[in-house]
């Protein structure tokens, strides 16, 4: 609709609220404010209005400030633990050097609103101003207790750099890509990396655009504390009962937990099976050379593994690789003396195997050379020699509880 129609009828500009639910309490912990226009016949999103580059910033700011005022006035009705999430792109936030917005929220602080309940969902997409000034403004706001959530960044290539610069309280992850059948495992791997990063910097993960049960499960499995989307509740004109979905969420989490326990049990059982089988082969071939032992393992594990080798406890490879190709197993001598201690968890697993005297089955990861999703079974042969067996994707696929 025309921008002048909106500006001429500001009474029809209304905030809608999409609830955000917490995994730990299964309650509503906050609401994202979304701009709407009530035309009388229908409720129209103001998203196109704010995204239109032809509309002057002062017009957008006037409408946005009205939405903020109405939303903050209303949140005073709620319990103190419920937060309000306000979308702010960098241009809108920098309007008037950020002072008009701050003065407005300070007025609500006088009315009893704790500024720690305000979360700014910031985006620097298409921002052509000074990013350093933008970041300084965010830090200034945080001195008042206002929290910062990264909602959208300028580009994926700057994602981790900007997280390091802004140090957000909340990372907001859009799960819309999970609806596409073309979404590859790399998407899952990136989100897993983000979940690890969030844990390291002490940020909370909020997953949005959850529209199906499997997206909810994905969010839960990847460390999501907060959840938002039509699968849970659409945006509404009024607040909802905080415990509205408590029973439903408890049931869903129970299902997720049971599923994950079954998978963990499968991994544990498989590790026990591999340990017993490999130990038997190693004992029978204890006087054999490295190559003889590897070929004996290859014969027994032909349908399971595709690569195996032996390292010392510092990660230096003492044996060649035994690698499976289409015509059978082949020796790769060029890998002798290579060092693998730089790999994540390598030395940690060496110490664990040394102390527990048991083999370890790794988590899923993408093999550098083949590009396939695999697991590695590591086995302590003696005090300073360790066997590594790479499990093929085909075997994992046939035992889908391992994927």
**Rounded Cα gap, residues 3 and 355, in angstroms:** 69
Three-class SS of residue 21? strand
The DSSP string of 248-305 is HHHHHHHHHHHHHHHHHHHHHHHHHHHHHHHHHHHHHTTTS-HHHHHHHHHHHTTTTE
Residue 400 makes CB contacts below 8 A (sequence gap 6+) with none
Angle 246-284/290-300 helices, nearest 10 degrees? 130
Fold (CATH) for 3-168: TIM Barrel (3.20.20)
- CATH 3.30.450.20: which residues of the chain? 260-402
Alpha helices (H) in 31-145, listed in sequence order? 47-51, 57-75, 90-93, 99-110, 131-142
Distance (Å) of CA 191 to CA 194, 219, 297, 353: 5, 9, 36, 29
Q: 9-35 burial, b if ≥16 CB within 10 A, otherwise e?
A: eeeebbbbbbbbbbbeebbbbbbbbbb
Residue 384 makes CB contacts below 8 A (sequence gap 6+) with 312, 313
- CATH 3.20.20.450: which residues of the chain? 3-168
**Rounded Cα gap, residues 80 and 114, in angstroms:** 8
Residue 287 makes CB contacts below 8 A (sequence gap 6+) with none
CA angle 212, 214, 220 (to 5 degrees): 110
Residue 130 contacts residue 94 (beta carbons within 8 Å) = no
The number of C-alpha atoms within 13 Å of 358 and in the hemisphere containing its C-beta is 10
Residue 185 has pLDDT above 70, yes or no: no
CATH 1.10.1200.10 fits 260-402, yes or no: no
Pick 312 or 159 by higher pLDDT. Answer: 312
Lowest mean pLDDT among 13-17, 137-141, 197-201, 331-335: 197-201
Token pair, residue 225, equals 């504390």
Q: What mean pLDDT comes out for the span 44-66?
A: 93
Three-class SS of residue 316? strand
**Rounded Cα gap, residues 71 and 337, in angstroms:** 65
Residue 46 has pLDDT above 90, yes or no: yes
Residue 186 has pLDDT above 80, yes or no: no
Does this model's pTM top 0.85? My answer is yes
Residue 1 has pLDDT above 80, yes or no: no
The DSSP string of 35-52 is EEEE-SS-EEESHHHHH-
Tell me the backbone φ, ψ of residue 208, rounded to 5 degrees. -115, 170
* Residue whose tokens read 């529209």: 211
Name the percent of the chain lying above pLDDT 70: 96
Check residue 184 and give its pLDDT.
55
Instruction: Convert the pLDDT of each residue in 352-389 to its tens digit.
Output: 999 999 999 999 988 999 989 999 999 999 879 999 99
């Amino acid at each position: 609709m025309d921008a002048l129609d909106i500006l001429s009828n500001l009474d029809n500009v209304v905030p809608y609220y999409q609830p955000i639910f917490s995994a730990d309490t299964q309650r509503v912990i906050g609401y994202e404010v979304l701009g709407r226009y009530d035309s009388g016949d229908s409720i129209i999103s103001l998203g196109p209005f704010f995204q239109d580059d032809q509309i002057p910033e002062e017009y957008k700011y006037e409408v946005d400030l009205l939405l903020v005022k109405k939303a903050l006035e209303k949140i005073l009705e709620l319990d103190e633990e419920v937060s309000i999430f306000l979308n702010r792109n960098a241009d809108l936030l920098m309007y008037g050097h950020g002072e008009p917005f701050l003065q407005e929220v300070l007025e609500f602080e006088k009315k009893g609103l704790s500024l720690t309940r305000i979360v700014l969902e910031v985006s620097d997409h298409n921002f052509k101003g000074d990013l350093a000034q933008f970041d300084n403004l965010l830090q200034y706001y945080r001195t008042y207790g206002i929290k910062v959530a990264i909602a959208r960044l300028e580009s994926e290539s700057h994602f981790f750099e900007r997280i390091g610069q802004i140090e957000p309280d909340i990372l907001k992850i859009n799960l819309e890509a999970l609806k596409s059948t073309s979404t590859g495992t790399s998407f899952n791997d990136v989100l897993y990396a983000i979940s690890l990063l969030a844990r390291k910097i002490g940020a909370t993960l909020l997953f949005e655009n959850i529209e199906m049960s499997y997206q909810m499960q994905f969010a839960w499995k990847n460390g999501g504390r907060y959840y938002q989307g039509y699968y849970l509740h659409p945006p509404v004109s009024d607040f909802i009962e905080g415990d509205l979905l408590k029973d439903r969420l408890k049931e869903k989490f129970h299902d997720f937990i049971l599923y994950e326990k079954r998978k963990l049990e499968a991994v544990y059982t498989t590790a026990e099976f591999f340990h017993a089988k490999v130990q038997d082969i190693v004992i029978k071939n204890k006087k054999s050379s490295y190559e003889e032992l590897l070929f004996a393992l290859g014969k027994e594990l032909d349908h399971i593994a595709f690569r195996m080798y032996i390292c010392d406890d510092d990660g230096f490879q003492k044996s060649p690789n035994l690698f499976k190709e289409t015509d059978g197993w082949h020796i790769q001598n060029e890998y002798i003396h290579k060092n693998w201690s730089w790999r994540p968890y390598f030395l940690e697993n060496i110490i664990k195997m040394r102390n527990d005297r048991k083999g370890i089955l790794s988590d899923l990861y993408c093999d550098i050379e083949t590009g396939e999703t695999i697991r590695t079974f590591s086995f302590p042969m003696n005090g300073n020699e360790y066997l590594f067996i790479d499990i093929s994707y085909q075997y994992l696929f046939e035992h889908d509880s391992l994927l």
